[in-house]
Chains A and B, each alone.
Chain A
Amino acid sequence: MTDVVLQGLTKRFGAVPAVRNLTCTMTPGVTGFLGPNGAGKTTTLRMLLGLVRPTAGTATVGGRRYADLPQPRRVVGALLDSTGFHPGRTGRQHLRISADQSGLPAARVATVLDQVDLGGAADRRVRGYSLGMRQRLGLATALLGDPEVLVLDEPANGLDPAGMAWLRGLLRDLGAEGRTVIISSHVLAEVRQTADRVVIVGEGTLRHTGPLDEMAGLEEEFLRLTGGVA
């Protein structure tokens, strides 16, 4: 049972504030991390993952900053919007490298390939993958360390309807197992079907946090909270 805690998290790129004094706690279960484009979702997740250095404040997982986790991949798995793959490597090679540098056993590679249903394409070069297959490979990478916390930026990107249904099931299962699953998205319909709670941000600040079932209508509330027109 691992909580993710953001405390006064702030990031400015030059003079531009991307995230402003964001404080919230994300507990086990599925949390929808919502906000319009440019609200600072991705920057927040990247600070949580140690990729972007906060201007102020902290982001911790189970009380520790990402960089202070002895084996970060065993605690946190991440899928980012633009996760890169070397086009000349096969999916399996990519996962092998990822497992090696994360200090994870090579046997995990076959397990996660099965889990995301990518076994058949594992030995093809990523160059020939569809967007949906890349997304599955990214999810496989996130699952490599069998982590208690999953940070997924727009996980449904590029998935076809069958892929979406599969992803929904996977996320629900992961949440039900007591993992802390954070899904950033602006596809509200998708979030409504999987999330237990939502955190809504707008212009880099926290606008709302709470259980989904207490919200009258997700879209109306989202638009009201983020200054869109209902």
Chain B
Amino acid sequence: MRAELRKLITARSTWLLLAIAQLIVVAGVSGLMLQRDDPASDDAQRGAIAHVGLVALFGLLIGILAVAGEYRHRTITDTFLARPHRDRVVLSKLVVAAGAGAVLGVVASATALITDAIWLAAKGLSIDLASGVLWRTVAGGIGWNIAFAAIGVGVGALITNLSAAVAAALGWLALVEGIVGELIGDASRWLPFALGQALVGLPNSADRPQAWQAGLVLVLYVAVFVAAGIGVTTRRDITH
């Protein structure tokens, strides 16, 4: 576990992703605040803070890198020589990546709240820190980051070619989930990105899953991806 943590913090990609995520949160929150005439409303505040959830994409990448990155640099050989019980290796990575997702979510939340407060102040308003919507959105955004980082570990264990894994993950989020959603109709609300949105209370309509339902189904996704990843990993020959 400690080794996995050390791998994470000694990889510069981790810090780069964390930094870029903050820029995206600042830009996203600012864009929304500039656009809305009712920036202090629950709806606008939810929309602004929900950007914390969007950086779950970076959490997903951190999870993928934790596994597929080791195949990319062939350090996986050293890892499996040190720990021949590969299931435990994947589970350690799961725990560390989920923790990294939580940190990413918390830091992005701080960035979002500060950016939000500055924009409100600029408009002569102030942030309502007693708002339930605000904190539910923050909690949902952090949860989204944790879930996607954990799913990333499963994806990276299944698709060990780093470029292919990243392409598959980005392709799913940018394109495939939308197309699959059209094919399956109402069931599309149970697809991963839709569930992440539901965690932060989006879209603001009655027929999306409740946050707890969304969280539960995301945990199921994590379990399925990680179980499949472990199954494949324990059988795989490491030939180079």
Contact = CB atoms under 8 A, between A and B. Distances in A.
Given A43-B239, A52-B238, A82-B240, A101 B83 contact: yes
A84 B74 contact: yes
Nearest to A52: B237
A86 B11 contact: yes
Given A53-B235, A84-B74, A97-B3, A89 B81 contact: no
B10 A53 contact: no
B74 A97 contact: no
Interface in A96-146: 96-98, 100-103, 141
B82 A67 contact: no
Given A72-B82, A73-B82, A82-B74, A51 B10 contact: no
A192 interface: no
A85 B237 contact: no
Interface size class of chain A, counting residues whose CB lies under 8 Å from the partner chain: 20 to 34
Nearest to A73: B82
A46 interface: yes
A49 B6 contact: no
B2 A100 contact: yes
B81 A78 contact: yes
B185 to A, nearest CB: 42
Contacts of A43: 239
Contact of A67 (B73, B84, B238): B84
A228 interface: no
A18 B158 CA distance: 25
Interface of A: 13, 43, 46, 49-53, 66-67, 69, 72-73, 78, 80, 82-89, 93, 96-98, 100-103, 141
Interface of B: 2-4, 6-7, 10-12, 69, 73-85, 235, 237-240
